[in-house]
Structure 1
Amino acid sequence: MEPKLGDMMKVNPSLTGLTDWIEGQVIDVEHNPFMGLVISIKDNLGRIFFGQSKYFKIA
């Protein structure tokens, strides 16, 4: 299932380099021909994380 703008998702610590899953709101969904589906989220601290969809799950 492809996320929509405004959906809440969590990003894997292996992508963020942090210890916990980070929850944020989807701000961009891109169909990249080389990377596949790329998702960008913004957390409540204003940090933006983006990467392949395999690093994200629905919150």
Structure 2
Amino acid sequence: TMKDDWVDGRVIDIKDNPFVGVVVSAKTNNGVIFFGREELFKPA
């Protein structure tokens, strides 16, 4: 996210990418969408 702290969001998609593994997409309360490998995300 290039942010200094964790940002709350809602998971909107999960895909199994054959090259990098599981990719998670999450949307923040202000509408910004972040995506990346599952280890970059953690449950609240």
Give the TM-score normalised by structure 2: 0.95
CA distance in 2, matches of 1:43, 1:56: 13
Q: Percent of counterpart pairs with the same letter?
A: 52
**Alpha-carbon deviation of 1:19?**
1.1
Gapped runs of 5+ residues in structure 2? Answer: none
Gapped runs of 5+ residues in structure 1? Answer: 1-15
Number of equivalent positions: 44
Relative to its length, the structure with more helix (as a share) is: 1
Counterpart among 7, 10, 14 of residue 29 in structure 1: 14
The code of the aligned residue for 2:42 comes to K
* Cα RMSD for the two superposed structures: 0.5
Q: Does 1:46 align with 2:27?
A: no
